[in-house]
Amino acid sequence: MLLAGKLALFSLGMFAFGYIVMPPLYNVICDLTGLNGRTNSAAVSMPTGEGVTDRLVTVEFVSVVNSSAAWTFKPAQLTMEVVPGKTYKAFYTAVNLTGRAAVGQAVPSVAPSSAAKYFNKIECFCFTKQEFEVAASKEMPLIFFVEPDLPRSIDTITLSYTYFDTGEAPVDIDLTDS
């Protein structure tokens, strides 16, 4: 009976470690190292330097719509040549095809994953949920820069967004009552 109690306690401890401790620890490791292609999830400040003028990096823009979502979602351009350290603006367009007012959310990923910590978003539609009326379309900006200390072995960065329907209804705020 003592052995069964120890095994049950051990199993409970392993469950707690796997489901309570590991997810936050994994997120911290990914944020610090850029593993799993995770980029910043909040705005960073503009770069202050002139950029690395002797180098160009290709940024590829990719879009994916979650298979259960009724949206169109695409980048305005597929690639852009950028100088590390300089700020650039790109756009994605999303269209709500759900037949109802809806809220969408974009989740970014960067490849190669080692480039994620060098790719910084100053402004991004992925920072907040996007509200859409029925059949509405939005052009959504992305302002970004690639850090000048990006390893020279990386000459192409692929920025991919997966777009999801959150299943939430848009919040209507009536300002006429105030």
User: Burial code of 121-156, b = ≥16 C-beta within 10 A, e = fewer?
Assistant: bbebbbeeebbbeeeeebebebebbbbbebeeeeee
**CA 159 – CA 63 distance, rounded (Å):** 9
Residues of the chain with pLDDT under 50: 35-37, 173-178
Report the number of distinct structural domains present in the chain. 1
Q: Which residues contact 127 (CB under 8 A, 6 or more apart)?
A: 41, 42, 43, 121
Q: Kindly state the helix (H) or strand (E) to which residue 144 belongs, with its residue range.
A: strand 137-146
Q: What are phi and psi of 123, to 5 degrees?
A: -135, 135
Q: Which two tokens stand for residue 1?
A: 């009976």
Q: What is the pLDDT of residue 4?
A: 84
Q: What is the pLDDT of residue 26?
A: 59
In a domain, 102, yes or no: yes
Q: What is the pLDDT of residue 45?
A: 58
Q: Which two tokens stand for residue 59?
A: 């940024």
Q: Which residues contact 100 (CB under 8 A, 6 or more apart)?
A: 134
In a domain, 175, yes or no: no
User: pLDDT tens, 90-111?
Assistant: 999 999 998 899 999 999 999 9
Q: Kindly state the helix (H) or strand (E) to which residue 120 belongs, with its residue range.
A: strand 119-124
**Does the model's pTM come out above 0.75?**
no
Domain that holds residue 100: 34-170
Which CATH number characterizes residue 47's domain? Answer: 2.60.370.10
Burial class (CB in 10 A: 0-12, 13-18, 19+), 171: exposed
In a domain, 13, yes or no: no
Q: What is the pLDDT of residue 67?
A: 78
Q: Look at the chain and count its residues.
A: 178
